[in-house]
Amino acid sequence: MRESRLAMFLLVLPALAVVLALFVYPLAMSVVSSVTDKTGATTLDNFAKAWELYREDVIFTLLIVCVSTAFIGALSAGIGGYLVLGESRRAIAALRWLYRWPLFIPFIVAAQCMRTFLAKNGLMNNAFDTIGLIDVQNAVGFLDWRGIIVTFVWKQTPFVALIVAGAMASLDRSTIEAARNLGASRIRILLEIVLPQVSSAMIVGLTLSFVTMLSVLSVPIMISGGAPTMITVDMAFRINAYSDYGVANALGLISYAMTAIAAWVYLRSNAAKRGMA
Amino acid sequence: MRSVLSTILRGSGLGAVAFVVFGPITNLALWAFAVQWYFPYKLPVVWGFKYWYEVFKPRSDAWESLTTSVLIALFTVAACLVLAVPAGYAIARGRLPWRGGILLAFLLPQAIPSIAVYFNVARIFYGVGLNGTIAGVVLVHTVHGLVFAVWIAAAAFAAVDRELELAARNVGASALRSFLTVTLPLAAPGIMASAIFVFLESLDEFTGTYFVGVPDVTTLPLLMFTASVAGNYQIAAITALILLVPSVGFMLFIERFLKADVLAKVGG
Amino acid sequence: MRRSVLLSAAIALAAVLAASPGHAQRKITLNVVTAGDQNMVDYVKDYLAPIFEKDHPDVTVKSVGTGPGDAGSQKIYEKLVAEKGNAEWDIDVAVIHQKAAGQMVAEGLLAAYVKDVATGKLVHSPAASNSLGANVAGYVIPMFNSQTAIAYNSQLVKDPPGTYADLVKWVDANPKKFGYNGIKGGMSGVSFVVGWIYAYTPDAEKLMKGPYDPNLKGSWDAAFASLKAFNQKVVLTPGNAGTLDMLGRGEIEMGPVWVDMFYTWQADGKLPPSVKLKLIGPGMPGQPMYYTVPAKAANMKLAEQFIELATSPKVQAEGIVKRFNWYPGIDATEVKSQLDDATWNKLFVDVTPQDLQTKGKTFPIAPYFNDILEGYEKKVQ
């Protein structure tokens, strides 16, 4: 009564065909287009032009995404850690209720929120001004690459924190209790006992976030006015203003390369984990 | 003494978190009810519902965008379910040829930044006349949604005990019948969850629609984007609030059912 | 249980389909596509469409925008090129920028409709036949004329600069208080850059009238270098609306804007009343937007009637000048007679007719225009 392999394959085929036709094929097209010039000849000119015009943006994109990922990792470790190691039941419940809200807010809505929140005379600075922390005349607007980082961290931390907190919650508490009884500080327990055990969940979350952030168009367009900005904005500009698929796809390839770095980190950590286990 | 200090620390820490989480959202709410707001005023100069009328009046773009968005999302869910249910079943149950390659193919859209893929898809669609059509946008959303739908469906089917299926087959039910009467109902909660997820993702999707739909198909996120870029923050804020309703509703609904340890199994 | 779920889903779907507009098969849809900011799309949707539909009860006007700047016109161009082989095209009226108009006439994408329209005789400006050096006579009627100027907050800037050179000095003394959008996202930034080149080259007239000399772009290196230094001390905004928005929220004190957008924003309460305009020397460009009819438009006759309505003196007076603060596209004499003096003079409060005569420039001819944009991308960005 074993279903035939052919029957199983036929069941998968429609979905597979859609993904192949509408993702893998355009992906291949984009690779080909990036090394083709307007006459159809193979060339590296597109990459040269992309580098010449947008190299600052490429570096900034990598910087923005890496810094965001680092912050997301630190904050989600902190949130997860507090949920597992915290002492006040009410604070834990409050935090658990609070931190999840940005999770269900789409990127474009988050960008709109931040655009007026982080402005020089936006709500954040005005709130600080009202409680006397700063003077709004000298306030700094965050509507540039820093605003992009803030938005990404705001939106993605709950996602990674959810995964990490879940992993932490299912840990065996005996090691934690033992360490507490020996008098270890909670920070030390977090860093030396809890985090290493949830590292694979953390890395999965961070890798997914890394890839997602490289693909977002709405946030950089709405938050950051000019250079430097993320290469997603430059890709859209090349297509809309000049129909220049060559350079836009060259930039796309650069973003694939960045993802490959993240993938390499993920695979290495997985292999290390298998090696350890 | 120490407990007072730590209570204060805890309180201010939570206060800071609340500010960070709700500050931007509050800002959105303020803009939704502002009629005139300019520098140097910290709060709107004139409050009112003027822009709510603008957004909800009969001839407005918002109604059309809302209808378009919902229509596209419904079609996307339908397409995803039709494709993902058999695929998920096959992945969970059967022995597939090229299993590794197939799994990789379903993982790709999540593993590669998709923006470059979107504008190349738009180029393909130009050639076949699908650009700027609802069908084209549904296709783009479907690919994006398939990733989640297939994996969640596979997980849902994997969780169904094979013994139950075999029992049904043993009493003479055909493969299809046992699937429809035994397996599918048991996997239904997971599949429902994936359907809702795909619906929300489609409703909120921006980048793909930006390349494939413009200028004929306007979804709610595109409307919000246009309003925001044109400096029309009131309309952008109101549209954003409309977009938030299904998302937040889903979140509150799921708060009751989502167990953190389920998510711990992700990627483990 | 499953069946009832399916049934309710089907009913819901049917209800949504029935309620969604655009399913009125009995009416003809006139597709008006506009490359421009939201105010231009709204002009068709909120003002022109109801008037036209009242006279033509069997027609629905669909107003779509493709975005501001030349990028918006580029989208329309691409759409027409993609449909070239079809018997009928799905754009009936296209409102486009000058650069795209020249290109589309040259490639035969537009219909020479002006002779079939009564109001065609009411336009005598050079812009109606010359689009950045290309001959477009008979293919276009200007929708409006617009002008850029520097908007400044008069409460914070007591003595606004009068020339580009003065502006540079002001920015040196007040860093990060001036903002513009570069060349992306809108034409106000583009016109600022063009004005910069006009200010720093010896022969601005040649750039505007031709002939084209490909070697001229080499002489702009010093101008681009100083613009690059200038950019370090200014804020880069997201676009036309971005500059106005930052002015309105006090994040910048000065920036280039379209005069019409400026007045509309002020009327809507998005700009404080203290913000005023100044047209700085030696000049800043303005541009007309053109009404065009694609060569194979599905509803050619209706499109011509639509444009005839839009360029009639009454609509130009009420809509273009009074409601939306643009300078008229047809001859000013025809329009001025339809308005009272107060309304007419409202257009010229900060930017007087003399200012327009001496400092209102046109954009350079297309090849120079492209050179300037490319030079900016290479040497300034």
DSSP C96: E
Given CB atoms, is B64 within the 8 Å cutoff of chain C? yes
Q: Quick one: pLDDT at residue C106?
A: 93
Residue A264 distance to chain B (closest CA, Å): 12
Which structure tokens are listed for A170?
Answer: 């299912």
List the Cα angle C298/C140/C318 in 5-degree steps.
95
Residue A241 distance to chain C (closest CA, Å): 4
Which structure tokens are listed for A273?
Answer: 């984990």
Nearest chain B residue to A23 by CA: give it: B117
Q: Quick one: pLDDT at residue C17?
A: 53
Given CB atoms, is C162 within the 8 Å cutoff of chain A? no
Nearest chain C residue to B46 by CA: give it: C269
Per-residue pLDDT, averaged over A201-220, amounts to 89
Q: B45, C270: Cβ pair inside 8 Å?
A: no
Q: Quick one: pLDDT at residue B258?
A: 53
Per-residue pLDDT, averaged over A44-63, amounts to 88
CA A46/CA A34 separation, integer angstroms: 6
Question: CATH homologous superfamily of domain A46-108+140-276?
Answer: MetI-like (1.10.3720.10)
Looking at the predicted structure, is the pLDDT value of residue A2 above 60?
Answer: no
pLDDT in tens, C221-235: 999 999 999 999 998
Question: Of the candidates B30, B116, B139, which has its C-beta nearest A249's C-beta?
Answer: B116
For residue B48, list chain C residues with Cβ-Cβ distance below 8 A. none
Q: What percent of chain A clears pLDDT 90, i.e. is strictly above it?
A: 23
Question: Of the candidates A12, A117, A256, which has its C-beta nearest B27's C-beta?
Answer: A117
Chain C interface disruption, residue of A51, A232, A240, A243, most C CBs within 10 A:
A240
Chain A interface disruption, residue of B21, B38, B163, most A CBs within 10 A:
B21
Q: C269, B36: Cβ pair inside 8 Å?
A: yes
For residue B90, list chain A residues with Cβ-Cβ distance below 8 A. 8-9, 11-12
3-state secondary structure chain A: CCCCHHHHHHHHHHHHHHHHHHHHHHHHHHHHHHCECCCCCECCHHHHHHHHHHHHHHHHHHHHHHHHHHHHHHHHHHHHHHHHHCCCHHHHHHHHHHHCHHHHCCHHHHHHHHHHHCCCCCHHHHHHHHCCCCCHHHCCCCCCHHHHHHHHHHHHHHHHHHHHHHHHHCCCHHHHHHHHHCCCCHHHHHHHHHHHHCHHHHHHHHHHHHHHHHHCCHHHHHHCCCCCCCHHHHHHHHHHHHCCHHHHHHHHHHHHHHHHHHHHHHHHHHHHHHHHC
Which structure tokens are listed for A103?
Answer: 């999770």
Residue C345 distance to chain B (closest CA, Å): 26
Q: A226, C70: Cβ pair inside 8 Å?
A: no
CA B152/CA B155 separation, integer angstroms: 5
Nearest chain C residue to A139 by CA: give it: C251
Q: B86, A256: Cβ pair inside 8 Å?
A: no
Given CB atoms, is B50 within the 8 Å cutoff of chain A? no
Q: Quick one: pLDDT at residue C2?
A: 56
| Domain at B59-264: CATH architecture | Orthogonal Bundle (1.10)
Q: C251, A53: Cβ pair inside 8 Å?
A: no
For residue A214, list chain B residues with Cβ-Cβ distance below 8 A. 113
Given CB atoms, is C189 within the 8 Å cutoff of chain A? no
DSSP C110: B
Residue B214 distance to chain A (closest CA, Å): 11
Q: C250, A221: Cβ pair inside 8 Å?
A: no
Which structure tokens are listed for C125?
Answer: 């400006």
Is the Cα dihedral C191, C197, C202, C207 positive or negative?
negative
Given CB atoms, is C216 within the 8 Å cutoff of chain A? no
Q: Quick one: pLDDT at residue C20?
A: 46
Q: Name which of A136-145, B27-36, C189-198 the model is least confident about.
A: A136-145
Q: Quick one: pLDDT at residue C1?
A: 44
Chain B interface disruption, residue of C8, C20, C48, most B CBs within 10 A:
C20
Given CB atoms, is A9 within the 8 Å cutoff of chain B? yes
Decide: C181 and C236 in contact? Cβ < 8 Å: yes
Q: B64, C245: Cβ pair inside 8 Å?
A: no
Stretch (H or E) spanning C180: strand C179-180
Residue C350 distance to chain B (closest CA, Å): 21
Residue A210 distance to chain C (closest CA, Å): 25
Given CB atoms, is B133 within the 8 Å cutoff of chain C? no
Question: Of the candidates B45, B126, B231, which has its C-beta nearest C82's C-beta?
Answer: B126
CA A208/CA A262 separation, integer angstroms: 9
Position A240 confidence tier, pLDDT thresholds 50, 70, 90: confident
Q: C74, A240: Cβ pair inside 8 Å?
A: yes
Question: Of the candidates A222, A225, A241, which has its C-beta nearest C235's C-beta?
Answer: A225
CA C296/CA C294 separation, integer angstroms: 6
Q: A227, C236: Cβ pair inside 8 Å?
A: yes
| Chain B adjacent subunits, 3+ CB pairs under 8 A | A, C
Which structure tokens are listed for C135?
Answer: 């001959």
For residue A116, list chain B residues with Cβ-Cβ distance below 8 A. 27, 31, 233
Looking at the predicted structure, is the pLDDT value of residue A266 above 80?
Answer: no
Which structure tokens are listed for A212?
Answer: 């997602």
Q: Quick one: pLDDT at residue C225?
A: 93
**pLDDT per residue as tens, chain C (381 positions):** 456 556 655 565 555 555 444 444 568 899 999 998 888 888 998 899 999 999 999 999 988 888 888 888 988 998 888 888 888 888 999 999 998 999 999 999 999 999 999 998 888 888 888 888 889 999 999 999 999 999 999 998 999 999 999 999 999 999 989 999 888 778 899 999 999 999 988 888 888 888 888 888 888 999 999 999 999 999 888 788 889 988 988 889 999 999 988 998 888 888 888 999 999 989 999 999 999 999 999 999 999 999 999 999 999 999 998 888 888 888 888 888 888 888 888 888 888 888 888 888 889 988 899 889 888 988 887
Position B260 confidence tier, pLDDT thresholds 50, 70, 90: very low
Per-residue pLDDT, averaged over B240-252, amounts to 84
Q: C70, A119: Cβ pair inside 8 Å?
A: no
Q: Quick one: pLDDT at residue C315?
A: 92
pLDDT in tens, B62-115: 888 888 999 999 999 999 999 999 898 888 887 787 888 888 888 888 888 889
Question: Of the candidates C69, C184, C249, which has its C-beta nearest A121's C-beta?
Answer: C249
For residue C33, list chain B residues with Cβ-Cβ distance below 8 A. 215
pLDDT in tens, C283-302: 999 999 999 999 999 999 99
Q: Write down the residue that tokens 């486009």 correspond to.
A: C96
Q: Quick one: pLDDT at residue B261?
A: 38
Q: B3 — phi, psi (to 5°)?
A: -70, -30
Q: Which residues numbered 137-156 in A keep a CB inside 8 Å of some CB on B? A: 154
Nearest chain B residue to C78 by CA: give it: B126
| Chain C adjacent subunits, 3+ CB pairs under 8 A | A, B
Residue among B45, B22, B68, B55 at smallest CA distance from B234: B55
Q: Quick one: pLDDT at residue A136?
A: 67
Residue among A225, C66, C184 at smallest CA distance from B222: C66
CA A44/CA A37 separation, integer angstroms: 8
Q: Give me the domains of chain C, ranges plus CATH numbers.
A: 9-145+288-346 (3.40.190.10), 148-285+349-379 (3.40.190.10)
Q: Quick one: pLDDT at residue C95?
A: 95
Q: Which residues of chain A have a Cβ shorter than 8 Å from any chain C Cβ?
A: 52-53, 119-122, 141, 221-222, 224-227, 237, 240-243
Instruction: Please report, for chain B, the start and end positions of each structural domain, with discontinuous segments joined by +.
Output: 2-50, 59-264
- Give chain B's radius of gyration (CA, Å): 23
Position B267 confidence tier, pLDDT thresholds 50, 70, 90: very low
Given CB atoms, is C176 within the 8 Å cutoff of chain A? no
Position B266 confidence tier, pLDDT thresholds 50, 70, 90: very low
pLDDT in tens, B123-161: 888 878 787 789 999 999 999 899 888 888 888 888 888
DSSP B257: T
CA C175/CA C254 separation, integer angstroms: 11
Given CB atoms, is B14 within the 8 Å cutoff of chain A? yes
Predicted ipTM of the assembly: 0.82
For residue A205, list chain B residues with Cβ-Cβ distance below 8 A. 267
Nearest chain B residue to C242 by CA: give it: B231
Given CB atoms, is C37 within the 8 Å cutoff of chain B? yes
Residue C35 CB neighbours (<10 A): 27
Size of interface A-C (CB pairs under 8 A): 47
Which structure tokens are listed for C40?
Answer: 């231009």
CA C365/CA C216 separation, integer angstroms: 13
Residue among C369, C102, C70 at smallest CA distance from C217: C369
pLDDT in tens, C79-110: 888 888 888 888 999 999 998 999 999 999 99
Question: Of the candidates C67, C75, C182, which has its C-beta nearest A226's C-beta?
Answer: C182
Residue B15 distance to chain A (closest CA, Å): 10
Looking at residue B151, its amino acid is: W
For residue C97, list chain A residues with Cβ-Cβ distance below 8 A. none
Range with top average pLDDT, A116-130, A142-156, B44-58: A142-156
